[in-house]
Amino acid sequence: MNGPIRPTGVASITASLISTASPSEVGCVPKKESRQNIPTKKQLVDPFRQGVIIEGGVGYRQTVVIRSYEVGADKTATLESIFNLLQETALNHVWVSGLLGDGFGATHGMMRNNLIWVVTKMQVQVDNYPIWGEIMEVETWVGASGKNGMRRDWLIRSHATGQVYTCDSTWVMMNKKTRRLSKMPEEVRAEISPWFIEKHAIQEDTPEKINKLDPKAKYVNKDLKPTRSDLDMNHHVNNVKYVKWMLETIPDMFLESHQLSSIILEYRRECGSSDIVQSLCEPDEGGLLEDGAQNDNGINRLTEISLATEGFEGCSYKKSPLRYTHLLQITGETKNEEIVRGRTTWERK
C-alpha cells in the first residue's frame, strides 16, 4: 500500500467536516444545556447522517443501512421499519434546511402559530423489500398540495441493485391547542415554498375511493389500546402504529405466503392515548378461499387441475394481486369515529 486509504464522495466530505468544522461553522448554535444543536441556517451536507442537499439545493438524500432490529424473521425490512425510515429522513430534511424549530418537523413560523403537521394521505409501493445489511439511498423532497397543504415524496434506492421503491404523502397543519385543521399562514408559506419541487414519485391518474367497511367485516381485532411508547412528540399515536394494527388483522396463513406490494392510507382523525381502537379488515370479493388460501383471482385449484389435464402444465398465467380494505376506528358508546381507511395490495412471495 502506498498510503492511507482516503474516503471519497459524500463520505469524504462528511469525514472532513466532522474532523475540522466547529458547530458554528456548520450552522449550529451550541448551548450548554442543549444536545441537539439544531442548525440555524441551511446546510449543504449533513455531516453526521450521511446526507446531502440535492435537486438544485432543495431536495435531500441520505444513505442508510438496514439494521438487524429493522427486519423480520425472513431477514427483510418490515413495513413498519420502512415507515419509520420515511419519517426520519423527512425530519432530517427539515433539520438541514435551517427552518426547524424545536417541534416535530415544525418550522419557526409554525411554532409561533402553535401549528403542527398532520398527514392526510400516504402511499407506498414496494416490489422487493430491503434485506438486513443492505445499503439504501433515500431521496425526499416537498411540493405544494392545494392552497393549504404540502406534498412529500420519497425514492428509496438500493445501492447494490439500483431498484427503486416509491412513496408519497400529503400533509396539512393542525392547531396544537384546538386540535383543528388550520390554513397555512403567509409567514409559513414564505418559509417552505422556496423548497417546493414539481415532481411526483408516484403518478396517479384518478385516486380510487376507499369505501368505509361494514362493522361485520370478515376480520376484526377489538379492544386495541395505545401504550405510552406509541405516542409521538405531538402527543398522538404515531402512524406507524396504525400500519401495525392493520397488518395484524390479516390471517397469519396469508402473511406467510404473501408480501405487501402497496399500501394506501387515508387519515381521518388523530388517536389519543386513552382511545380504544378496533381494526377491521375485508378481502376483496373472490380474493380468498374459505380456508384462507389464495384463489388467484378466480383461478382455483380445480381450474389448475383442469389446465394440467388439458396439457397446459407448463403454461404460466398472470396472477392478479390480492387486495384488502382496512379501517381503524375509535369505539364509543354512541358511535365509532374513523381514524384511518386503508387498502393493501399483495403478491405471492
Could you report the per-residue pLDDT of 229-259, keeping only the tens digit for each? 999 888 889 989 999 999 999 999 999 899 9
- CA distances to 151, 257, 297 from 194, rounded to whole Å, are 14, 46, 47
Residue 93 has pLDDT above 50, yes or no: yes
Give the pLDDT score at 349: 84
271 classed as catalytic: yes
CATH fold label, 17-24+42-206? Thiol Ester Dehydrase; Chain A (3.10.129)
Give the pLDDT band (50/70/90) at residue 35.
confident
Give the best-scoring range by mean pLDDT among 19-28, 178-187, 294-303, 332-341. 178-187
Nearest CA to 233 out of 36, 27, 6 is that of 36
Once rounded to an integer, what is the mean pLDDT over residues 165-184? 95
- CA 123 from centroid of its chain's CA atoms: 7
Once rounded to an integer, what is the mean pLDDT over residues 36-44? 90
Look up residue 187 and give its three cell numbers: 409567514
Cβ–Cβ < 8 Å for 112, 167: no
Give the Cα separation of 82 and 126 in Å (integer): 10
- Name the segment(s) of the chain with CATH classification 3.10.129.10: 17-24+42-206, 208-349
Could you report the per-residue pLDDT of 305-342, keeping only the tens digit for each? 333 333 334 433 345 569 999 999 999 877 899 999 99
Once rounded to an integer, what is the mean pLDDT over residues 206-227? 91
Could you report the per-residue pLDDT of 284-293, keeping only the tens digit for each? 875 543 344 4
Put simply, whether the predicted model's pTM sits higher than 0.75 gets the answer: yes
Give the pLDDT score at 142: 98
28 classed as catalytic: no
Residue 218 has pLDDT above 80, yes or no: yes
DSSP classification of residue 312: -
Nearest CA to 136 out of 124, 151, 154 is that of 154
Catalytic residue among 28, 93, 167, 271: 271
Catalytic residue among 236, 281, 295, 326: 236
Give the pLDDT score at 320: 52
Give the pLDDT score at 232: 87
Q: Please determine, looking at this structure, whether the domain spanning 208-349 carries the CATH number 3.10.129.10.
A: yes
Residue 28 has pLDDT above 70, yes or no: no
Taken as a whole, the chain contains a residue count of: 349
Cβ–Cβ < 8 Å for 292, 254: yes
Q: Which residues pair with 279 in a beta bridge?
A: 221, 328
Residue 109 has pLDDT above 90, yes or no: yes
Catalytic residue among 92, 234, 238, 295: 234
326 classed as catalytic: no
Angle at 33 between CA 52 and CA 22, to 5 degrees: 40
The set of residues, in sequence order, having a beta carbon less than 8 Å from that of 197 and lying 6+ positions away, is 55, 58, 59, 141, 142, 143
